[in-house]
Structure 1
Amino acid sequence: MSPFQIPEFIKAPSVLVEEYGARQLSRLAASGELHRVRRGLYLRTELWSSLKPWEQYRVHIQAVHELAHTAPVFARQSAAQVMGLPLVRAPRPVETLCAAKNGGQSSNGVHRLPAIDGDPPPWQMYGLLVTQPHITARDMAVCLPLAQSLPAMDRLLSMRVLPGSPANVPLTFPVETIQLAISRLPYASQKRRALRVLAAGNGLSQSAGESLSRAIMLENGFPAAALQVPFHDKRGLVGYPDFVWDEYKVLGKFDGFEKYSVQRYLKGRTPAQVVVAEKVREDRLRALGYSVVRWVWDDLADPRRLPALLHEAGLPSR
């Protein structure tokens, strides 16, 4: 997946300064023609409105970088956004590291966090400084609930190299490396939270939606599922269901809809052909004696919906 291309900011002085000037840019922002991203940095309002929430957040990160006197080190969810660790929703404040032990002054949409003694130096990715991936996932595990921190930990544990990673450094992070990073946290409560997310992590998870689903399952006391287990019948390989509860003869599938719209999933087929293939696959799985339950992003937005679907399929919970 190619990184999001940051649109060029309109600013003064710029190529527009002769036409507008700095005051004119402010007046255009007041009239609604321009959107003020950050002091002195603007985008056309029409362009800004067309961006998805996570793209707008990435633009905010870039604006903080461009206005800083010294290149900031982005941390937590801001670092995750830059490097491509999955987030389930767009955050609000931009998060950066500060040398002070108690963090720095947080203001104007920037949250300044204390650095941890002994942490490795930041990486440069896409022209920005970010905490290394295992530090980023650890710090998210400390400050976010399981539903928001597990997707990043799962992606880290998949041992797949993040696009844009620098050269000549370790590019994957085994469990032992993450545990060592957790051991540097200053408080026992922080270590417990981070270790809980690490213990729940599973590198077989294929998407943020699957990770979020598993977090909801864990928090509601459902039995642990096996992930991506191959199923065969007399015709050969049927597929790899996202979640398998063999004891209860239940299979689960999170449907993020990318397979119906993104070319790398369509593989030359039409969306209708993909839907038919999914139906045939489900029929073959049911013929093996399993019930199949499916859910989508909207089902994850309501924390009661996925547990209800799993109960209906016959799964118990504590």
Structure 2
Amino acid sequence: MVRPAAVEHGASVIDLAARLASLPQPFTAADAASVGVTRHVLTRGVSHGELVRPSRGIYCTAPVWRASSPGARHLLLADAVLRTTPGAVASHHSAALAWGLPMPIDAPPWVAITLMGGHLTSRALSPARWHDGELPTHQVVRVRGGHQICRPDRAVIDCLRELTLPDAVAVGDAALGSGLTTAEDLRGMRRWQRRWPGITRADEGLPLLDGRRQTWLESWSFARLWQLGVSLPEPQVTVLDERGRFVGCVDGLWREGATVAETDGLGKYLGQFDGGPSGAKAARRVLAEKRREDRLRDLGLEVVRWTWTDVRRSPRQVVARIEAARARGDLARFRGRLVSRPAVTALGARYAANSA
């Protein structure tokens, strides 16, 4: 049980919440000392549950830390590193998160930092990994709070070089789909990074990127299945019936084999983005999805559906189901009409707004 927000120090009692209210979250021991809180008091605060120490040298008030998602916690740590290290620039997956791109499933636990013309000191904070590599000023953007992060195209190529392929593809797809970068920008950044470590991994991932995919689960799934020999399905294809009526927009479609790919995240049914539904609302969503799938099958399409757990833990079983469906399917039996979505290439307003 968490005790009241006070810690004894000598003959006095220090109200940690009041003393630390003016500090950024998270903060360092030096920050705490500026408001009269010693390391001893910080240690007592951690033991009493009032503070969290997510990494050596960094503290955060417990309510802030516990209320934060994994991605938000990473950005809290990044803020501390950027605020206390001159010349530090968030890069790789840390820059991607700062741009609002997906949190890698197998995210490295450290904050990725590239320095601009600086040298590390003995006071460098522990949650960071420091990357070598040329970083010209035109590849850096200053965001609110005065922090510096790498430009989106730089962040995506760095992720393609360093992350697992499915994670990197999810980051790249989201960057393209949200208009943060373009295919041309990414190709240009790859040429600029020629001969850099891991660039052959980027060469493998770049052709897989497609901004038409709408969720990280689509991107992650299709990249993982591609690693197992499954060709990429065409993303976000609209299916119309014999009379031209809308049936659905499917996550993916293999035209050869007339097979639809559908990825199922819990949010689709549980409404995590609209306040959370009642059980009845969730049931209606499940029934609506079942009717939609029945209509797709009635038109002559095969349907393969999987969840995050399926593709994460048993991907080869998913591959077997896809192969079986594509062997059964035949586009000649399809009685409706398919409409492809144009590829995403335009630079969106979001990048311009963030780089102003």
- TM score, norm. by length of structure 2: 0.72
More contact order relative to length (CA 8 Å, sep ≥ 6): 2
Per-residue deviation, 1:29 = 1.5
How many residue pairs get aligned? The number is 297
Residue number in structure 1 paired with 2:14: none
5 Å-filtered alignment, 1:30-45, equals: 30-38=47-55, 41-45=58-62
2:318 is the counterpart of 1:301: no
Per-residue deviation, 1:211 = 0.6
Per-residue deviation, 1:190 = 3.9
Residue number in structure 1 paired with 2:223: 215
Contact 2:235 2:252 in 1 (8 A): yes
- Summarize deviations over 1:38-65 as a string: whole Å, max 9, x none: 4554234465345332232222212212
- Summarize deviations over 1:85-142 as a string: whole Å, max 9, x none: 22332430111112469x9688722111123365723112343211000000011111
Per-residue deviation, 1:299 = 1.5
Contact 1:286 1:292 in 2 (8 A): yes
Which residue of 233, 244, 262 corresponds with 1:225?
Answer: 233
2:163 is the counterpart of 1:151: no
1:195/1:40 CA distance change after superposition, 3 Å: closer
- Summarize deviations over 1:3-27 as a string: whole Å, max 9, x none: xxxx844766669956x65421212
Contact 1:116 1:184 in 2 (8 A): no
Residue number in structure 1 paired with 2:139: 121
Q: Secondary structure of the equivalent of 1:227?
A: strand
Q: Which runs of 5+ in 2 are unaligned?
A: 1-23, 329-356
Corresponding letter in the other structure for 2:59: Y
Which residue of 89, 94, 107 corresponds with 1:78?
Answer: 94
Which residue of 248, 254, 263 corresponds with 2:257?
Answer: 248
CA distance in 2, matches of 1:120, 1:247: 44
Q: Secondary structure of the equivalent of 1:95?
A: strand
Give me the identity figure in percent.
27
Contact 1:116 1:185 in 2 (8 A): no
Which residue of 287, 306, 310 corresponds with 2:322?
Answer: 310
Q: Which runs of 5+ in 1 are unaligned?
A: 1-6, 162-171
5 Å-filtered alignment, 1:101-250, equals: 108-116=126-134, 120-127=138-145, 128-158=147-177, 160-161=178-179, 172-187=180-195, 190-233=198-241, 234=243, 236-250=245-259
- TM score, norm. by length of structure 1: 0.80
Residue number in structure 1 paired with 2:334: none
1:283/1:93 CA distance change after superposition, 3 Å: same
Corresponding letter in the other structure for 2:114: L
Specify the structure having the higher radius of gyration (Cα). 2
Per-residue deviation, 1:208 = 0.9
Which residue of 88, 96, 119 corresponds with 2:104?
Answer: 88
Contact 2:25 2:61 in 1 (8 A): no
5 Å-filtered alignment, 1:39-78, equals: 41-45=58-62, 48-68=65-85, 70=86, 72-78=88-94
Provide the alpha-carbon RMSD of the alignment: 3.4
The worse-fitting range, judged by mean Cα deviation, of 182-191 and 272-281 is 182-191
Q: Secondary structure of the equivalent of 2:109?
A: coil
